[in-house]
Structure 1
Amino acid sequence: MPESKKIVIKVDVHDNKCKRKALKAVSSLEGIESLAMDMKDRKLTVIGEVDPVCIVGKLKKWHPEILTVGPPKDDKKKDDEKKKKEEEEAIKIWQEYIRLYGYPSGPCMPPQYCVRGVDEYPSGCVIC
């Protein structure tokens, strides 16, 4: 099974009409996970299990030039690891605070309830 890769191709598109046609041509290929076009730099980014030669074949009208082919970035994985490290660090700081100063509000006390009978309130209404 082919593995997913990130392919960046420079294409000669000048307006939104050409951009739309180029994206439509490439989107007909199977195995594409995402497509993105940067009009400023005139770069098409394709992520998926697709052959770069097939992409160039579909874009021959716009004079394609392959810039890079490589593995897609796993930004999500890095973000998850970063969050996990931050949480662990926060837990360590909290544990150190408790070790040095104890709990911030003192020991937890159970809530106190006051229950009064009808005899204590003579003006209370009683339904028989």
Structure 2
Amino acid sequence: MKKVVLKVDFHDEKCRQKIMKTASGISGVESVAMDKDQKLTVTGDIDPVVAVRKLRKLCHTDIVSVGPAKEPEKKKEEPKKEEKKPEDNKNQSPCPGSWPCYPPCYLPVYIEEEPAGCVIC
């Protein structure tokens, strides 16, 4: 099972319908989808080169990516985290982690108003 993403150049709705019909007619195709960026996603047991060869008869077609089709993952239930009470936060330092918290260090920067050797005409 492969997922092939193709970039297709078409100009009107009629050409888009021909592309979708041709892509769905390729042997081994299970699903065909097209997004707004003119990217055609074909999923199934297909040869990407054959798909491009058939689609290039209709419009300019490039392969964007070829990879395994991902199965929809089941969502695992995460254990609920216990909420901390406001009393527990009293002893914490303002800086999280194990590093000590130091105030910011500001260094003075001196700028000369009229640098020596510069002449403005």
Q: TM-score w.r.t. structure 1 length?
A: 0.57
What per-residue deviation string (whole Å, max 9, x for no partner) do you get for residues 30-88 of structure 1?
Answer: 111110011x21110001000001101111131110000001122x22xx242xx33xx
Larger Rg belongs to: 1
Residue 57, structure 1, aligned to residue 53, structure 2: yes
1:11 is matched with 8
Aligned to 1:11, the other structure's residue is in SS state: strand
Q: TM-score w.r.t. structure 2 length?
A: 0.60
- Selected match of 2:27 from 30, 34, 40: 30
In structure 1, stretches of 5+ residues that fail to align are 94-128
Q: Which has the higher helix share?
A: 1
Task: Tell me how large the CA RMSD over aligned residues is.
Answer: 1.7
1:47 is matched with 43
Aligned to 1:10, the other structure's residue is in SS state: strand
Q: Distance in 2 between matches of 1:15 and 1:36?
A: 17
In structure 2, stretches of 5+ residues that fail to align are 83-121
Q: Distance in 1 between matches of 2:69 and 2:33?
A: 13
Q: Which contiguous aligned blocks of 4+ residues in structure 1 show a shift greater than 2 angstroms?
A: none
2:63 is matched with 66
Q: Distance in 2 between matches of 1:34 and 1:14?
A: 23
Aligned to 2:16, the other structure's residue is in SS state: helix
Aligned residue type for 1:9: L
